[in-house]
Structure 1
């Protein structure tokens, strides 16, 4: 399937306009062909986000194999992880 830069920008814009409690449902409704996961950014270990915004990072999901995994290849991506970034105190 793959995710082009314009589509990633549209997903990021939808996240900017959404609230955390209903974010996954809203993204599923707007992008029904994507795998969508929402978590805290500190739950993601060993991967780099493909898009960083104030308050969240986007990671790509590759669902082409037996199991889902994170990828940095937009051409292989079939979904996204929206990972909330906690504001640093101080």
Structure 2
């Protein structure tokens, strides 16, 4: 379960991070800041367009990640979520983004 307020705090941390930070470095920073939270950073283009983000801002969209079964999947259910996908928007991508 993703506790109330976590999504907003992660989104704020992404905004506060340098836009030149590489995706993998942002991922490490978020994992360190939000200990115990599974975090994956990718391009928003890598997320199926049919999914609505749990939260979004000018730099990223956040999606819930459910790793409760055999396969990891995106979900719209905060209760089932065990992590977040931070999907960076357009020019917010670091040097290793597509």
Question: Which TM bucket (shorter chain)?
Answer: 0.7 to 0.9
Aligned: 1:42 with 2:45: yes
Distance 1:51 1:10 in 2: 11
TM-fit CA distance, 1:41:
0.4
Alignment RMSD = 1.3
- In structure 2, the gaps of 5 or more residues are 92-98
Output the CA distance in 2 between the equivalents of 1:7 and 1:41: 20
- Alpha-carbon offset, residue 5 of structure 1: 2.9
5 Å-filtered alignment, 1:20-35, equals: 20-21=21-22, 22-35=25-38
2:73 and 2:7 map into 1 onto residues whose CA distance is 18
- Could you report, residue by residue, the CA deviation over 1:17-49 in whole angstroms, capped at 9, with x for unpaired residues? 113412101011011211111111011013211
Per the alignment, residue 62 of structure 1 pairs with 66
Q: 1:74 is matched with which residue?
A: 78
* Structure 1: unaligned runs, 5 residues or longer: none
Aligned residues: 86
1: distance between equivalents of 2:9 and 2:63? Answer: 14
Q: How many Å separate the matches in 1 of 2:6 and 2:60?
A: 17
**Which 4+ residue blocks in structure 1 deviate beyond 2 angstroms?**
none
Normalised by the length of structure 2, the TM-score is 0.80
Distance between the aligned counterparts of 1:7 and 1:85, measured in 2? 20
Q: Which residue of 1 aligns with 2:15?
A: 16
Q: What TM-score do the two structures reach when normalised by structure 1?
A: 0.87
